[in-house]
Each structure stands twice: as structure tokens, then as C-alpha cells.
Amino acid sequence: MATGMFITLEGVEGSGKTTQAALVADLLRAAGRRVSVTHEPGGTRAGEAIRAIFLDPAIRLDVAAELLLVLADRAQHVREKLRPAVAAGEIVISDRYCDSTVAYQGHGRGFDLKLLADLNRLASDGMRPDLTFVLDCPAEIGLERSRARRGAAAGAPDRFEGERLDFHRRVRDGFLAVARAEPDRVIVIDSTAPRAAVTARMVAEITARMVP
Ligand code: Z5A
């Protein structure tokens, strides 16, 4: 049985994570690997209920409640879905994980980074990604992509789309700080590049680390 692998995609809103998770998964499946794609918040039944509260701009949430919701979601996601799938030999790609908490609740909201490291360890049960891609683009570009997509779907902006630009810039800086601190785990990719070029780089990096 092939050895499982845990890959996370991180980055600002609209940076292309959802797009790339699907493209990369398709290519890996075509190469014969078992791949599942999941996301946070969400990914489990409990997680999708948490996500609905979390993203609803009509529900006022204190920042501490926001933090505890993403952690509760992660605790369920790891134990119900992520760990069993990797143990069964799958390549699991998660659209967001612990680094999003560091970037959004730490660099964005201002929670203490040491506290977040402890809480992330508790929520994740110590499960660390084998590989993380930060899909990096200026916050303005990501937000514009999200707005264009939402415009097409005529939806309302979520809790974070309504935040000021400097919040999203701090979040981007937060992801880049994580990448600088953990260069062996985290690869930064310029996500303003064409989609196919981003996919090709990601698949090459994953393939290079695969245990047959
Ligand atoms: N959050 C948190 O605060 N703390 C946490 O611990 C966690 C999450 C886990 C989840 O929202 C929110 O939760 C998130 C942080 C917070 N909010 N924000 N911001 P979500 O899951 O609904 O949203 P998201 O994760 O930000 O995803 P997104 O808006 O769907 O963006 P994306 O997945 O990165 O991008 P995309 O959907 O793949 O692409 C966006 C558009 O750009 C789309 O039309 C694509 O066709 C286009 N695109 C993609 N790639 C390209 C390239 N290369 N060129 C041109 N256009 C492209």
C-alpha cells in the first residue's frame, strides 16, 4: 500500500487554493494515486455546521468565539477525517489548516502567536502537514478575484471579505512569515502565474517527496 501524505494549501482569499486543490488532485489521480480533497472550516458534518456560522456575516462573533470555532472544526476534522485518510494511504489535500489560524487570528486579529501554537497543537492532535503550499498573491488581487467570482454568483460578502485591505495584507505577511520560519515544510508559489504553471510546480514538488 502506498504511504499517505498530508498536504495543505494556504494563502489569502482568492489566491487560487480551491482551483489548485482540484487540478492537482486530478493529475495525481491520473497518475494512479488515491487522493481526497477537503477544507477548513468544514470537511466533516460538524465542520460544515461550524462553517455556516463562521462565514455568515449576519452572525456577530467575538474574535475569541471566531478562534474557538476554527479550532473546534479542526479538532473534529483531524480525528474524523484527516488522520484516518492518511493512515489508509491516501494523499490528503486540505484547503486551509493550522497556518490559516496563525495568519488570520494571529497576524490579522492580533492573538498571541505562542498561544495559537499551543491551541493549534491541541486542536490538530499534533498532526503536521508533510508539505504546505502558500499560494501567494497581493491581497488586492485575491480580493478582486473573489469579488469577480461572487459578482457572477450574486452572493453576499462573507465575514472576511468585508475586512479592510490592511487586514488582508497582514494576513498575507503572516503566511510569508510562517514560510520563512519553516522552509522545509512550506513552499511559496506566486499564484499570479497562469493556473497551469502553478499546478505543474505543485505536482512536481509533491512527486519529488512521494514515497512509492
Ligand atoms: N479562516 C480563519 O480565519 N482561520 C482559520 O483557521 C481557517 C479559516 C481554517 C474560509 O473561507 C475563511 O475562513 C477564510 C479564512 C478563514 N476567509 N477568508 N478570507 P472560504 O473557504 O470560503 O474562502 P477562502 O479559503 O478564502 O477561499 P476562496 O475565496 O474560495 O479563495 P481560493 O480558494 O484561494 O481561490 P479560488 O476559489 O481557487 O480562486 C478564486 C478566483 O480566482 C476563481 O474565480 C478562480 O478561477 C480564479 N483564479 C484561480 N487561480 C487563478 C490564476 N492563477 N490566475 C487567474 N485567476 C485565477
pTM given for the model: 0.96
The number of the ligand 1 atom at minimal distance from the alpha carbon of 193 is: 53
Expressed in angstroms and rounded, the spacing between residue 1 Cα and the centre of ligand 1 is 33
Which residue CA neighbors atom 24 of ligand 1 most closely? 13
What are the residues facing 10 on neighbouring strands?
134
Spatial separation of the C-alpha atoms in residues 78 and 69, rounded to whole Å = 14
What are the residues facing 35 on neighbouring strands?
91
Q: What is the pLDDT of residues 110-121, one digit of tens each?
A: 999 999 999 999
Q: Is 67 in the pocket of ligand 1 (CB under 6 A)?
A: no
Domains and CATH numbers, the chain: 5-209 (3.40.50.300)
Q: What is the pLDDT of residues 41-75, one digit of tens each?
A: 999 999 999 999 998 888 999 999 999 999 999 99
The number of the ligand 1 atom at minimal distance from the alpha carbon of 197 is: 53
Contact 6, 129 (CB under 8 A): yes
For residue 202, the surrounding DSSP H or E stretch is: helix 195-209
Q: Is 13 in the pocket of ligand 1 (CB under 6 A)?
A: yes
- Mean pLDDT for all residues in the chain: 95
Q: Is 104 in the pocket of ligand 1 (CB under 6 A)?
A: yes
Expressed in angstroms and rounded, the spacing between residue 3 Cα and the centre of ligand 1 is 29
* 102, 110, 121, 188 from 115: Cα distances, Å: 10, 11, 10, 25
Q: Is 106 in the pocket of ligand 1 (CB under 6 A)?
A: no
Residue 8's CB is within 10 A of a number of other CB atoms, namely 26
Q: What is the pLDDT of residues 136-192, one digit of tens each?
A: 999 999 999 988 987 766 566 677 877 899 999 999 999 999 999 999 999 999 999
